[in-house]
């Protein structure tokens, strides 16, 4: 990842250690929904361009006539937004490791190296948790909170005039058929994709705390799988499948639709307990969801290079050996397709 000669600036590059720190269950990052994009400036100008299928169909024309099919330009609106910025720094001095303090949860004493490793791990954890939260807010609410910029709050649904799709589902109805209901919801998302439909690879349905099990163990589902062996891996009633450790998921038979249970507090605060949010996932290069990052801003030497990285992790040693450990990153998640995401209120 590193493209900068940190040593030329009297810095020690910590990004290799940062990148191999242990990772926990960060669902949205694991799914790879957002595509990363570099920006040379901290102010980002981006367009929203939507093309409907109707503009990309050819009508029969009379041969030799002057009547032709024409391609309609998509509706485009330009926005200039400052990329939200995150900084974390800590200091290590002789007092931190010479006093013989025991490492938390360990029998050995603190050392310079152990303190440095702990800081790198904590910086990495803070970054990934922040990234997961910002992804969730952009996906499930269409918002980015930017209290330290002029924008304060970015709301893509209003900026792009693209409100979320909505629906209501009653699983308590006597004739409720979960497979039929999910198929109808999938079709609603697919229909909204319009010109992006050919780039859509599947739909992920994020299920609130009460919804996942209500769908999985609904009477209609039990009826549908009554003749499938309980030991069969495809039996979603009896077989537990995990997308990540302790993150349950099930693939709906006959559909490119995965239902994922959301219980992580980082995500569940953006999804109601009785809510189902269907998010279309697109092939790489579509840029329906983008994560934009910029050059460094705290260290002027790094800033002068103009090199943009997803994050910067480095340390600076002072004259007496005291060491400052720095982390800085910029995160602007962009949701260009809020009008293709379906938020479903579920009565169960």
Lateral strand order in the sheet of 85-92: 11-13, 311-317, 323-330, 85-92
Residue among 52, 56, 32 at smallest CA distance from 283: 32
Provide the b/e sequence for 205-216 (b: ≥16 CB within 10 Å).
bbbbeebbebbb
Q: How far is CA 252 from the centre of its chain?
A: 22
- Residue 260 CA to its chain's centroid (Å): 14
Three-point CA angle 126, 19, 263, nearest 5°: 45
Does the pLDDT value for residue 104 go beyond 70? no
pLDDT of residue 287: 87
- Mean per-residue pLDDT, 39-44: 90
Determine the average pLDDT of the residues in 209-220: 95
For strands 289-293 and 35-38, give the pairing: parallel
291-324 pLDDT, tens digit each:
999 999 999 989 999 999 999 999 999 888 889 9
Q: Burial, 280: exposed, middle or buried (Cβ in 10 Å; 0-12, 13-18, 19+)?
A: buried
The residue-averaged pLDDT of 266-285 equals: 95
Distance of CA 276 to the CA centre of its chain: 17
Q: CB of 160 within 8 A of CB of 77?
A: yes
pLDDT above 90 coverage of the chain, percent: 63
- Structural domains for the chain: 6-51+76-156+296-335 (3.15.30), 165-286+337-347 (no CATH)
Which residues have C-beta within 8 Å of that of residue 93, sequence separation ≥ 6? 322, 323
pLDDT band for position 47 (cuts 50, 70, 90)? low
pLDDT of residue 340 exceeding 60, the answer is yes
Report yes or no on whether pTM surpasses 0.95. no
Per-residue confidence (pLDDT) for residue 49, from 0 to 100: 44
The pLDDT of residue 10 is: 83
Least confident of 15-29, 30-44, 147-161: 147-161
Geometric angle at alpha carbon 124, from 267 and 292, rounded to 5°: 70
Which residue's entry shows tokens 């953006």?
A: 270
- Supply the pLDDT for residue 114: 87
Q: What is the mean pLDDT of residues 220-225?
A: 95
Per the listing, tokens 């996942």 go with: 212
Lowest-confidence region among 51-65, 98-112, 308-322, 325-339: 51-65
DSSP state of 54: G
- pLDDT band of residue 56 (cuts 50, 70, 90) is low
Q: Which of 53-62, 96-105, 176-185, 317-326 has the lowest mean pLDDT?
A: 53-62
Dihedral sign for Cα atoms in the order 307, 313, 317, 318 = positive
The predicted model gives 263-287 an average pLDDT of 94
The 3-state DSSP class for residue 189 equals: helix
Nearest-5° Cα angle at 163, 161 to 167 = 160
Name which of 42-46, 54-58, 95-99, 234-238 the model is least confident about: 54-58
- pLDDT confidence of residue 103: 65
Residue 69 to residue 114: CA distance in whole angstroms: 68
- The residues facing 78 across adjacent strands are 47
Give the CA angle between residues 131, 165, 289 to the nearest 5°: 30
**Residue 121 has which token pair?**
């791990």
Instruction: Out of 9-23, 201-215, 225-239, 290-304, pick the least confident.
Output: 9-23
Model pLDDT, residue 175 = 93
What 156-160 contacts at long range (C-beta under 8 Å, 24+ apart), as own/partner pairs, is 156/334, 156/335, 156/336, 156/338, 157/338, 157/339, 159/77, 159/79, 160/48, 160/77, 160/336, 160/338, 160/339
Contact indicator for 292, 35 with CB cutoff of 8 Å: no
Residue 174 has pLDDT above 80, yes or no: yes
pLDDT band at 161 (very low <50, low <70, confident <90, very high): confident
Phi-psi sector, 169: left (phi>0), alpha (psi -120 to 50), beta: beta
Query: pLDDT grade, residue 147 (50/70/90)?
Result: confident
pLDDT more than 70, % of the chain: 87
The answer to whether the CB of 92 falls within 8 A of the CB of 322 is yes
Rounded distance between C-alpha atoms, residue 225 and residue 240, angstroms: 14
Q: Give per-residue pLDDT as tens, 62-82.
A: 666 667 666 555 555 566 788
């Amino acid at each position: 990842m590193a493209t900068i000669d940190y040593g030329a600036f009297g810095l020690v590059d910590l990004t290799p250690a940062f990148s191999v720190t242990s990772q926990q269950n960060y669902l949205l990052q694991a799914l790879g929904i957002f595509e990363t994009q570099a920006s040379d400036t901290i102010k980002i100008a981006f367009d929203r361009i939507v093309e409907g299928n109707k503009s990309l169909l050819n009508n029969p024309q009379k041969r030799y006539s002057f009547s032709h099919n024409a391609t309609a330009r998509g509706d485009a609106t330009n926005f200039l937004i400052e990329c939200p910025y995150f900084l974390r720094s800590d200091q290590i001095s002789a007092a931190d490791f010479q006093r013989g303090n025991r490492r938390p949860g360990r029998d050995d004493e603190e050392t310079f190296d152990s303190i440095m490793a702990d800081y790198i791990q904590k910086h990495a954890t803070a970054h990934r948790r922040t990234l997961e939260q910002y992804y969730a807010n952009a996906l499930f609410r269409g918002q980015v909170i930017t209290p330290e910029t002029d924008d304060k709050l970015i709301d893509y649904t209003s900026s792009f005039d693209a409100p979320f799709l909505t629906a209501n589902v009653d699983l308590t109805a006597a004739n409720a058929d979960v497979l039929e209901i999910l198929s109808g919801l999938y079709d609603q998302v697919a229909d909204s994709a319009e010109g992006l439909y050919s780039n859509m690879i599947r739909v992920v349905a994020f299920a609130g705390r009460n919804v996942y099990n209500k769908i999985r163990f609904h009477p209609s589902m039990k009826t549908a799988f009554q003749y499938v062996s309980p030991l069969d891996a495809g039996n979603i009633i009896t077989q537990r499948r995990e997308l990540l450790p302790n993150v349950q998921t099930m693939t709906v038979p006959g559909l490119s639709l995965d239902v994922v249970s959301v219980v992580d507090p980082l995500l569940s605060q953006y999804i109601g307990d009785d809510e189902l949010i269907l998010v279309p996932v697109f092939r790489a290069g579509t840029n329906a969801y983008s994560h934009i990052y910029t050059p460094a801003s705290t260290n002027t030497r790094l800033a002068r290079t103009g090199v943009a990285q997803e994050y910067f992790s480095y340390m600076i040693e002072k004259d007496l050996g005291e060491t400052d450990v720095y982390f800085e990153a910029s995160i602007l998640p962009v949701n260009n397709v809020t009008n293709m995401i379906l938020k479903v209120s579920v009565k169960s």
